Amino acid sequence: MGRFIKGLFFGSLFGAGMLWLNTTAKGKHVREQILDTAAEVYVKLKSEVLSSPKYKKLKKNEYVKLVEEYVNKYAIENGLADNVKKMVTKLVSAQWKNISE
């Protein structure tokens, strides 16, 4: 029963956070900043990956590692918070199909 309660608690906490991001003006602004940052990181990483000689042999897990390294470096340079860094990493990692095509 303890796992259920934890799941319920964290699920409701996540839902409240998503509600805040989607309904309040500040939440929308934060969401736009996250998406803008992810787009900027993706464009830079894509050009770097495509110019790499290893591009043809690149696997998804190697791409995800590159994304994590690149986002960590970007976060240090631009002072991103950890939760923003995680979201940007997820968004850019999800673009594997676009890179592999």
Give how far the C-alpha of residue 84 lies from the chain's centroid of Cα atoms, to the nearest Å.
Answer: 7
The C-alpha atoms of residue 30 and residue 90 are separated, in whole angstroms, by 16
Indicate whether 10 belongs to any domain. Answer: no
Indicate whether 32 belongs to any domain. Answer: yes
Indicate whether 39 belongs to any domain. Answer: yes
Per-residue pLDDT for 21 more than 70?
no
Domain span at residue 42 reads: 25-100
Indicate whether 68 belongs to any domain. Answer: yes
Per the structure, the count of domains in the chain is 1
Indicate whether 11 belongs to any domain. Answer: no
Report in angstroms the alpha-carbon separations of 9 from 18, 21, 83, 84.
14, 18, 19, 22
Indicate whether 50 belongs to any domain. Answer: yes
Q: What φ, ψ does residue 57 adopt, rounded to 5°?
A: -100, 5
The C-alpha atoms of residue 56 and residue 49 are separated, in whole angstroms, by 10
Indicate whether 62 belongs to any domain. Answer: yes
Report in angstroms the alpha-carbon separations of 46 from 61, 66, 89.
15, 11, 14
pLDDT tens string 22-54: 666 776 777 788 888 888 888 888 888 788 777
